[in-house]
Structure 1
Amino acid sequence: MQRAKDFFKKEPVFVIAFLCAVLSMFLVPPSADYIGYIDFRVLELLFCLMAAVAGMQQEGVFLVLAQKILAGKKSLRLLTLTLVMLPFFSSMLITNDVALITFVPFAVLVLELTGQIKHLAWVVTLQTIAANIGSMLTPVGNPQNLYLSSFYQLAAGDFFAVTIPIVLLSFVLLALCCIAGKNHTIEVQFQKREEIQSKRALLLFVLLFLLSLLSVFHLLSSHIALAVTVIALAAFSPKVLKKVDYWLLATFVCFFIFAGNIGAVEAVKNFLGNVLSQNTMLYSVLSSQVISNVPAAVLLSNFTQDAKGMLLGTNIGGLGTLVASLASLISFKIYAKTPKAEVLRYLGIFTAANVVMLIVLYGFAAVCLL
């Protein structure tokens, strides 16, 4: 029983996705049709990207970069801006959850070293928003983008035409939040200097990441990218294969089965189709607040051809509640474990900032859809 509780705490989304998939099987009994539900291209690309990023993270490249940027005398405003923009820009390539796993603990360290821990709740909130919105820019920034770009077969130009305006506005709003308030000069000194573990290994992971990008943009088969990645890692860095989030891959399989079964029920199919035809972006935003944006993307995409509305809704919908984006739970857990963490204060700041940002970006996106 304790093992089950511990597993649920560690992988709550997989457990929920698995239960949803099993329950949906009572509506549509298991058959060979289930294979058709699964988007194997998305699974292959997710694996390749996670493996490459895990390898780069293992070599310490992100922490080395962060130390070089932050070391020395800085104004508090510039320090805050830097800590927030690190996950904003990095999430565009290494995904929002990896960006937060890397840079939220780093922010805790920096603010402790400089005696500015009282600002931690605000900084972590901004980092979370930054990662969730920065990741919107690219197809590889988060799982729902990878899925939607594959599902709707979006060309690069069409994809970026949707995401760039929102991300640019978000950058401006986040920068304004960072420079608000009092300002003074502080000095950042790190007791331990981070170093690249192996430049040769790092080169391998960078090449594998570029290979994955070629596949994302349909310039290379995902089968080839998967084969090269697995062979290269098995031969040169087998440890990285253990760091891939296989539960995330299993979660996607469960969501594919659930969405496929729900879509096979005519009454549900007609209902969701009618609702989404009224306002795809609005209902994908609302769904994300309850079931999170990744499952919302997988489920709702089966009932609409409005790729733009889905892309905007599930990305902007990552703002709002704590569960709207699973990446938000990562930063919350890290903050909650820090000494003297004020959880209720953090939730208040997080919710207020997210709701305001959600309203502003939704209004701007609604105008862009006209």
Structure 2
Amino acid sequence: MNLPFLHALARDRFLHLLIIIGLLLSFLVPFAPQKWPAAIDWHTIITLSGLMLLTKGVEQSGYFDVLGRKMARRFVTERQIAFFMVLAAALLSTFLTNDVALFIIVPLTLTLKKWCAIPVNRLIIFEALAVNAGSLLTPIGNPQNILLWGRSGLSFTAFIGQMFPLALAMMLTLLVLCWFCFPAKTLVFQSSDRTPQWSPVLVWGCLAFYLVFLVALELKLELWGLALIAAGFLVLAKRVVLSVDWSLLLVFMAMFIDVHLLTQLPALHHLLTGVGKFSDGGLWLTAIGLSQFISNVPSTILLLNYVPPSMLLAWAVNVGGFGLLPGSLANLIALRMANDRRIWWRFHLYSLPVLLWAGVVGYLLLRLR
């Protein structure tokens, strides 16, 4: 284990908080550490590992510099580039899932600041909100929709029709916020005197590795796929493997274990046994509130044991992705990739009002249907 990795762990306050929460919860439920590994979604961990390697490979190749320079020259104002990045994040999330969309959009955003003066943190926050809004539209946009779609028996298009009013309302909301939060200030182009250097070999290698990884995921051989692309990067560009933020995987593992411990609490089970008798408003608030603390995917899994995969539940757990950081794992990915401590509290200045707005507007739209 190298020193940079140890330093990253020492500075990771969010990981420290998750460990403390896990220790506290372990005193409130039966202590069974042998069950903790089974609580971790290893498919998610392996998929995330592969995506981090592939994204870091493209980043290390320098191609994001080339793309960022072209984009910076194409847009005139800060508002224009914000609209484009937010819409791109939302669109990609509808068919690539919210996590994958962020692995493409956020590194590109970080590169843009080399070529023009933009409020990077604010833009990444809006991209995180955009993938949550865009991904709720389709059955394959995020993990909770995949689960709900499978249980509902709806066709692909019927599911989209069910989610469309909420997705439209949230995207319009984000575009209005973009208008007010990003001024029509002329972009100041930087570093115009140099042409970015990039490695075509590494870019094409990343594309080949991505195809290999996709096939491995499709064949349920994700661990072999990860091993192949890791070996490929060790041969092609060892620096890619060394520069990945591997501590993010520990954060996800700790979150899975904490959620597992939380769901063992007798008080929570006592509450959920009666959730099937809740009014629509009660179920709406329960699903959103539960998502805030254990994330919307575990909330969906837990609530489906007590209630049917209704439109109300689908809307509620997707609304629950806004608000507090744990609401959606996509939030965590976006903020971690920003690599700036100030973004953590600034995120909530936007996400909490959006959650309140989504909660009210979503429920009113449900009542009108």
Give the TM-score taking structure 2 as reference length: 0.68
SS at 1:112's partner residue? coil
What displacement does 1:307 show? 5.8
Q: Percent identity?
A: 18
What displacement does 1:214 show? 4.4
What displacement does 1:238 show? 2.8
What residue in structure 1 maps to residue 57 of structure 2? 55
Amino acid at match of 1:283: T
Q: Which is worse superposed, 228-237 or 93-102?
A: 93-102
How do 1:280-299 and structure 2 match up within 5 A?
Answer: 282-289=285-292, 291=293, 293=295, 297-298=297-298
Q: Aligned partners of 2:340, 2:60: CA distance in 1, in Å?
A: 19
What displacement does 1:191 show? 1.8
What residue in structure 2 maps to residue 112 of structure 1? 117
Q: 1:241 to 1:19 in 2, by over 3 A?
A: same
Q: Which is worse superposed, 57-66 or 319-328?
A: 319-328
What displacement does 1:201 show? 1.5
What displacement does 1:71 show? 1.0
Indicate yes or no: 2:223 matched with 1:250: no
| 8 Å contact kept, 1:262–1:269 | no
What residue in structure 1 maps to residue 332 of structure 2? 326
Amino acid at match of 1:240: V
Q: Aligned partners of 1:47, 1:147: CA distance in 2, in Å?
A: 20
Q: 1:316 aligns with which of 312, 315, 319?
A: 319
Q: Aligned partners of 1:236, 1:140: CA distance in 2, in Å?
A: 33
Q: Aligned partners of 2:53, 2:337: CA distance in 1, in Å?
A: 22
How do 1:204-215 and structure 2 match up within 5 A?
Answer: 204-214=205-215
Q: 1:36 to 1:349 in 2, by over 3 A?
A: closer
Q: Aligned partners of 1:39, 1:347: CA distance in 2, in Å?
A: 27
Q: Deviations over 1:335-354 (max 9, x none)?
A: 959xxxxx99x975665455
| 8 Å contact kept, 2:82–2:182 | no
What displacement does 1:74 show? 2.8
| 8 Å contact kept, 2:116–2:189 | no
Q: 1:30 to 1:282 in 2, by over 3 A?
A: same
Q: Deviations over 1:291-327 (max 9, x none)?
A: 373xx53366235345676664444223235665435
What displacement does 1:202 show? 1.6
How do 1:3-152 and structure 2 match up within 5 A?
Answer: 7=9, 10-12=12-14, 14-26=15-27, 27-30=29-32, 32-72=34-74, 74=76, 77-89=79-91, 93=96, 95=100, 98=103, 101-102=106-107, 105=110, 112=117, 126-134=126-134, 136=136, 145-146=142-143, 149=146
| 8 Å contact kept, 1:277–1:304 | no
* CA RMSD of superposed structures (Å): 4.7
| 8 Å contact kept, 1:284–1:314 | yes
Q: 1:332 to 1:275 in 2, by over 3 A?
A: farther
How do 1:129-278 and structure 2 match up within 5 A?
Answer: 129-134=129-134, 136=136, 145-146=142-143, 149=146, 157=156, 161=160, 166-179=166-179, 186=186, 189-192=189-192, 195=196, 197-214=198-215, 218-264=218-264, 268-275=268-275, 278=278
Q: Aligned partners of 1:331, 1:231: CA distance in 2, in Å?
A: 24
SS at 2:117's partner residue? helix
What displacement does 1:285 show? 2.0
Q: 1:242 to 1:265 in 2, by over 3 A?
A: same
Q: Aligned partners of 2:148, 2:100: CA distance in 1, in Å?
A: 19
What displacement does 1:46 show? 1.8
Q: 1:36 to 1:326 in 2, by over 3 A?
A: closer
| 8 Å contact kept, 1:132–1:315 | yes
SS at 2:76's partner residue? strand
| 8 Å contact kept, 1:81–1:175 | yes
SS at 2:43's partner residue? helix
Gaps of 5+ in 2: 1-5
| 8 Å contact kept, 2:79–2:178 | yes
Q: Aligned partners of 1:62, 1:277: CA distance in 2, in Å?
A: 52
Q: Deviations over 1:117-157 (max 9, x none)?
A: 7xx8976654442244345567997xxx4587479977994
What displacement does 1:187 show? 5.9
Gaps of 5+ in 1: 338-342
Q: 1:168 to 1:222 in 2, by over 3 A?
A: farther
